[in-house]
Amino acid sequence: MRKNPFFINRFLPLALIILIFPSLAVAATLSEYLENVNHLKDDLNRMIQPDEDSTGAENLAFEREVLAEFPKLLPAQEKIEWQGSVEVNNKWIHDALARFKNEPPESAKRTAILIELSDRLGALETKINEFESATAAERTKDEDKRKLAEILQRDEYQKPKEKGESLLEKIWRAVVEWLDKMFPPSKPSIAAPTAGSGSFTFVLQMILFAVILGIIGFLIYRFAPFFFSKYRRREKREKKERVILGERLAADETSQNLFDEAERLAREGNLRGAIRKGYIALLCELSDRKIIGLSQHKTNRDYLRDLSKQNELYKDMSGLTDNFERHWYGLNDAREKDWAEFKENYRKAVGN
Residues 116 and 11 occupy one common structural domain: yes
Residues 222 and 251 occupy one common structural domain: no
Which residues neighbour 240 within 8 Å (Cβ) at sequence distance 6 or greater?
251
| 120 assigned to some structural domain | yes
| 262 assigned to some structural domain | yes
Please tell me the predicted confidence (pLDDT) of residue 54: 80
Please tell me the predicted confidence (pLDDT) of residue 268: 92
Please tell me the predicted confidence (pLDDT) of residue 24: 40
CA 101/CA 103 separation, integer angstroms? 6
Give the residue numbers spanning the domain of 256.
Answer: 242-351
**Residue finishing a domain among 133, 149, 170:** 133
CA 349/CA 341 separation, integer angstroms? 12
| 154 assigned to some structural domain | no
Q: Any bridge partners for residue 81, and if so which?
A: 29, 85
Please tell me the predicted confidence (pLDDT) of residue 196: 54
Residues 304 and 282 occupy one common structural domain: yes
Max CA distance (Å), the chain: 111
| 155 assigned to some structural domain | no
Residues 9 and 127 occupy one common structural domain: yes
Residues 23 and 80 occupy one common structural domain: yes
CA 279/CA 282 separation, integer angstroms? 5
Residues 225 and 308 occupy one common structural domain: no
Running along the chain, 352 residues long, what does each successive block of 10 average in pLDDT?
A: 47 43 56 86 87 83 86 86 79 90 85 88 82 60 68 60 69 76 58 54 76 83 72 56 83 88 92 90 89 86 87 87 83 83 89 71
| 149 assigned to some structural domain | no
Residues 24 and 118 occupy one common structural domain: yes
Residue 19 CB burial class (10 angstroms; 0-12, 13-18, ≥19): exposed
| 69 assigned to some structural domain | yes
Please tell me the predicted confidence (pLDDT) of residue 20: 37
| 160 assigned to some structural domain | no
Question: pTM for the complete prediction?
Answer: 0.39
Scored b (16 or more CB within 10 A) or e, 60-78 reads eebbebbeebbeebbbeeb
Please tell me the predicted confidence (pLDDT) of residue 267: 92
Domains of the chain: total: 3
The closest of 328, 350, 351 to 339, measured between CA atoms, is 328
Phi–psi pair at 79, nearest 5 degrees: -105, 135
Residues 216 and 300 occupy one common structural domain: no
**Residue finishing a domain among 72, 100, 133:** 133
| 146 assigned to some structural domain | no
Please tell me the predicted confidence (pLDDT) of residue 6: 47
